[in-house]
Amino acid sequence: MNKIESLGVLMSVFYKEKPEYINHSLKSLYNQSYRADEILLVKEGDLTNKHIEVLNYWESKFGHGVIKIIDAGEAKGLAACLNVGLKASNCEYIARFDSDDECLPNRFEKQMSYFANNPDVVLLGGQIEEFDDDMEVSMGIRNVPTTYNKILSYSKWRSPFNHQTVIYKRDVAIKLGCYPVVPVNEDYTFWAKFLANKFKVANLPDILVKARTGKGLINRRSGIKYLKGEFIMIESLYESKLLNFYEYIWQYVSRTTLRLMPKKLLAIIYSQIRKK
């Protein structure tokens, strides 16, 4: 399809990320049937020589000025880093992506075509297939609803978008105050702003991204530390008026139960959810 609007990709690059993961991630962006106009890589911490080697290679492949490496500076944490990149872009649309995931080749073409045909939509996501660390064994598909009313209902309990598939209008994101700086689930609280302000959003039914979930997912989403971060997230969701009082209380009850239950039981629950 012919390009009508400018598209930027927003990624955070952490110094602990494996260079080979970043390499595969950038390769998937290079292989897009509809290429982005710019790729904003916000780096947190000093990168290794191997990281720099990978980035230099793809800078030369994409051509001058496409990849923009931005130092996070004093910004700490994912949300703050994303805000640095978001404000640095001049593109009309911003695509979120993770430095360890891989886009399917027609991801951007499908999404930008949808935007062209649905100009009232300001945020669009899709489905993901989750894989192990080697991207060889599928761990299931995370399906999210596609229509506005179902997305709104789903958002009361779980994030209604797979963050690494989302493209949104930059001017709307800036108007809403960018990403809330919270310890966990900054994307979820960001989407809540769109929904609370009644902006038109949607998800495609297609799988757009192969997500490198790995076996550490349960460890990352268990325990007191993660739960405390979720409490801050719940308060943000309530303040945005996405949740009513009863939904607000239920979020506390359900998330406390999940995060403090035995990890084996939590793994079973996650497995069953992915099968739905």
Confidence of residue 4 (pLDDT cuts 50, 70, 90): low
Write out pLDDT tens, residues 174-231: 999 999 988 888 999 999 999 999 999 999 999 999 999 866 677 777 888 888 888 9
Write out pLDDT tens, residues 238-258: 988 889 999 999 999 999 998
Asked if residue 164 is part of any domain, the answer here is yes
Asked if residue 257 is part of any domain, the answer here is yes
Asked if residue 51 is part of any domain, the answer here is yes
Residues 6+ apart with CB under 8 A from 262: none
Its domain, for residue 36, covers: 7-275
In percent, the amount of the chain with pLDDT more than 70 equals 96
Asked if residue 2 is part of any domain, the answer here is no
CATH code at position 103 = 3.90.550.10
- Compute the 3-state secondary structure of the chain and give helix, strand, coil in percent, each to the nearest 5: 45, 20, 35
Asked if residue 97 is part of any domain, the answer here is yes
Q: How far, in Å, CA of 238 to CA of 245, rounded?
A: 8
Q: Which residue has the tokens 């302000």?
A: 197
Asked if residue 89 is part of any domain, the answer here is yes
What mean pLDDT, rounded, does the chain reach?
A: 92
Asked if residue 62 is part of any domain, the answer here is yes
Number of domains the chain contains: 1
Confidence of residue 269 (pLDDT cuts 50, 70, 90): confident
Q: Are 73 and 87 in contact (CB under 8 A)?
A: no
Confidence of residue 1 (pLDDT cuts 50, 70, 90): low
